[in-house]
Chain A
Amino acid sequence: MNDPYTLHTLENGLRVVIEHMPDVNSAAAGFLSHTGARDEVPELAGVSHFLEHMCFKGTEKRDWHQISVDFDKLGSIYNAFTSADRTFYFGWVPMASVRDQIEVLADMMRPALPEADFATEKKVILEEIAMSKDSVDHVAFDFVLERIFEGHALGWPVLGYDNTVGDLTRDQLHAYHQERYAADNMTLIVAGNVDPGRIIAIAEELCGHWKPGQKKSERKVPEIRSGIANRVVDRFNQHVIVMSFPAPGANDPMHETAEAAASILGGGNSRFYWNIVQKGLSPSASCFRFDLADCGLTLLCAQTDADVDGVEKLADALRKEAHDICQNKVRPEEVQRVKNKRRTTLAVEGESPYHRLVQIMDDVDYRGAPRTVDQRLAAVEAVSVDSVAEFFQRYPIDGDGYLIGVGPREWPNCK
């Protein structure tokens, strides 16, 4: 199969990654800034996310309304998100509009950060924080990270806190942008029915004048803590249980095995589904991975409205499944089922420029280069009973981890 990728780096350090998809009628484009909550200092918690909002609030060329108008004129499906370690802005348009889409996005990457809009947007973000406090899942997840990564930037919510967001100034935002949105800390990704040479020319024209960064910042690998904690929140009805264990990061060779292991334990048609959900212990029990480039977690999660004894029973059921999968090899058919599902997912996602954009972003950010669908399939095919066993040997989930409860019950008992 021909390599569908074109990789290029502008003189200022901006990377350009293009996937040519000749069979589609649309194209998706996005700017990745390699910056997120883990790059913040404590007093600026939430600045990465605030900056993402402010990139929609005006540039030298456009005010906020014009940015919105220009996206909507293109009929773009667009958005942005901020995570612990990246910020991504994207738009998906009919292929004839790809240049205009890149132009709007590139303009936004050099925001004017107008003072008046800064004050209004602060209110919006405080509403977003308030909204997250009404969700037991959000409250639980924030508490889990706060405890596991205590003392590290990964321990605070991407949204920041009421006080840090409330105290943030426009100048602090500006300084953060100067440092983190330098050309050599960013990547332009385009997937769709596009001419790679033309995309590179567009990137040169629109982004060639961006300045590279003055200094390179190093990310500190966090210490992953273990322990027991609970947060009693009376107004929720469901009690959420989370058991967390260290796991490999996204760029680790065991990454695909880790995904398969999580799926066997707590995906669809999994051990958790049949032995916990279908036993009536919890409407939702899952195993998922929180992975960054340099570290990761395996998280076992479930919730129940039961009393303390019922919560303990649910926790025992999670522990039993975790113990079984660590002590006994999984069955070959369990591995095969996961592979089969991944094969379909990859084939289908390979049809859509938007999905490819997101996959490429992940590959570029964590693995340095994009992988073709065939390469991704090969990684899936390499997963085996033995590799899953090796994974649980290296990253056991039946020993000391962090046990956390959030909700109306006083569980676990931390005394």
Chain B
Amino acid sequence: MEKVTHETLPSGIDLACVEIPGRHAVAIEFRILAGTAHEPDDALGIARLIQETIDLGTEKYDGRALSDAFDEIGASHGGWVGREASAYTCLVLPEFLERAIELHAEFIRRPTFPDDKIEVAVELTRQEWTALQDDAHSLADKLIGTQAYGKYLGRHSLGEPESLDKIDRKHLLDHWSETYHAGRMQVTAAGAFDTQHLVDLLETHFGGFGATETAGREHFDVTFDAVRVHHNKELEQQQIAIAFPGAARTGEDYHVQRVMLGLLSGGMSSRLFTEVREKLGLVYWVSAWGECPRGSGMIFLGASTTPDRCDVTYRTLLREVDRLSEDLTKEELDRAVNGLVAKIETQGDITRARCGQLAEDLFHFHKPMDRKEKIAKLQAVRVDDIHSYLDAHPRDALSVVTLGPRVLEGSKVAETSSTGGPQS
């Protein structure tokens, strides 16, 4: 029998966990509510630099010894930096949970940020900037993010080359001191463990970790730039990225949005796949997806195609969104809903996925959300709700990026340095 718990610990940690007896592992996530949006204007990229160096030296271990310690318990661990948070994730056998928490506490609480490691991290980040120029899809993703979200939420985790060069150990220590403390931490766990034991471990290892007051929950404003910008680049395929504002995760029409995205891009019978790829053969890759920073939402449409098909692909993408207002059937809607529900059930068999779902709940709702309730909300969506959603989220002011050799009709051409890296 699964047991879900949510509580704020005396240390200030916001904890949500689900005991799932019979599982062979425990997935745990330590989320720090500090992402790229929280970076100082003159130190863009610092959140990721902290993450890249935080486990390369602590009061007790050097980087290699810490990695060895994780390997001794066979932990699969990693991390990511997002717009509003940074996270450290770990998958471990149940008997090693305590050691895994102890090791996370060691580097999250007591990093030393050795100068030589910072120097290397800056150099590697610079090289990753260059590598980004060789990855057309990721580059287009970066460009549309900047354009659609604006100053704070539109930042890229790699920062900017000019600001990276200025970041030193003091910057890292200052930003870490300001943003890494228990009141900014959300911890989630799923799998085979005892909740009280988990609570005790977290309090033992994170008790007294800085301010206990909750922080980092503020919303950042989206400053949406409704422009079409083309970035010249020598490529075989043209990258197309379109964005328009959508619903927040906590918004009443969020579940309608999920279904709408399922209708557009949920499976091979979805509209974009069917119309853009299967009927017209315009693309290999086409997709629609949503992102939800806290308190806001953004819908993206993307495709890559050979340059002479760019304009028709662009028009077809938008037409398919509009067409949902015209000829959506109940059968099609039910299929999209059933698909979403089945995937929730199927992925419930993955311990790591369960932990990830809890983490998202905590991030947006400050509490775990009932899975059955989520499913019921999806199942309650009707055709009229999709129409209302599309009326409420018009596509008359879009943010568009194209990347490649052909200028999309009606676009302005960006300055040559606008991809932010070396020219190819």
Contact = CB atoms under 8 A, between A and B. Distances in A.
Interface of A: 23-26, 56, 64-65, 67-69, 71-78, 92-94, 97, 119-128, 130-131, 133-136, 234-238, 268-269, 274, 277-280, 282-284, 303-305, 333, 336-345, 347-348, 350-353
Nearest 10 pairs of A and B residues by beta carbon: A75-B342, A123-B281, A340-B74, A337-B71, A68-B269, A68-B268, A72-B267, A128-B284, A344-B74, A305-B130
B417 interface: no
Interface of B: 22-25, 56, 63-64, 67-68, 70-76, 91-93, 117, 119-120, 123-124, 127-128, 130-131, 133-136, 234-237, 266-270, 273-274, 277-285, 304-306, 335-336, 338-343, 345-346, 348-352, 421-422, 424
Contact of A237 (B131, B278, B306): B131
A68 B267 contact: yes
A134 B349 contact: no
Contacts of B346: 25-26, 75, 77, 92-94
Contacts of B130: 237-238, 305
A92 to B, nearest CB: 6
A56 B235 CA distance: 29
Contact of B76 (A77, A78, A344): A344
A274 B64 contact: yes
Given A121-B281, A269-B71, A348 B25 contact: yes
B127 A282 contact: yes
Nearest to B136: A134
A348 B352 contact: yes
B134 A120 contact: no
B236 A133 contact: yes
A236 B424 CA distance: 6
B288 to A, nearest CB: 15
B277 A124 contact: yes
Contacts of B266: 72
Contacts of B273: 68
Contacts, number: 195
Given A131-B237, A135-B134, A284-B131, 5 more contacts: A94-B342, A120-B278, A235-B234, A237-B424, A305-B127
Contacts of B335: 69, 72-73
A297 to B, nearest CB: 24
Given A136-B134, A351-B25, A65 B74 contact: no
A237 B280 contact: no
A216 to B, nearest CB: 34
A341 B284 contact: no
B68 A333 contact: yes
Contacts of A124: 277-278, 281, 283-284
Q: Which of A124, A342, A343, A353 has the most CB of B within 10 A?
A: A124
Contacts of A303: 131
Contacts of B352: 348
Q: Which of A75, A130, A283, A336 has the most CB of B within 10 A?
A: A75
A237 B124 contact: no
B24 A350 contact: yes
B65 to A, nearest CB: 11
A339 B74 CA distance: 8
A121 B281 CA distance: 6
22 contacts: A24-B349, A71-B268, A74-B338, A123-B281, A123-B282, A124-B281, A127-B283, A127-B304, A130-B306, A131-B236, A274-B64, A278-B120, A284-B131, A333-B68, A336-B72, A337-B68, A340-B73, A341-B75, A343-B74, A344-B25, A351-B25, A353-B349
Nearest to B132: A237
A305 B131 contact: yes
Contact of A72 (B124, B270, B345): B270
Q: Which of A123, A127, A304 has the most CB of B within 10 A?
A: A127
Contacts of B351: 348, 351
Contact of A279 (B120, B134, B268): B120
A317 B356 CA distance: 38
Contacts of B56: 278
A304 B24 contact: no
A336 B284 CA distance: 43
Contacts of B73: 340
Given A127-B284, A274-B64, A71 B131 contact: no
A120 B283 CA distance: 10
Nearest to B124: A283
Contacts of A67: 268
A68 B281 CA distance: 16
A174 to B, nearest CB: 20
Contacts of A69: 269, 335
A165 B209 CA distance: 61
B74 A351 contact: no
A65 B284 contact: no
Contacts of B68: 269, 333, 337
Contact of B284 (A56, A75, A76, A125): A125
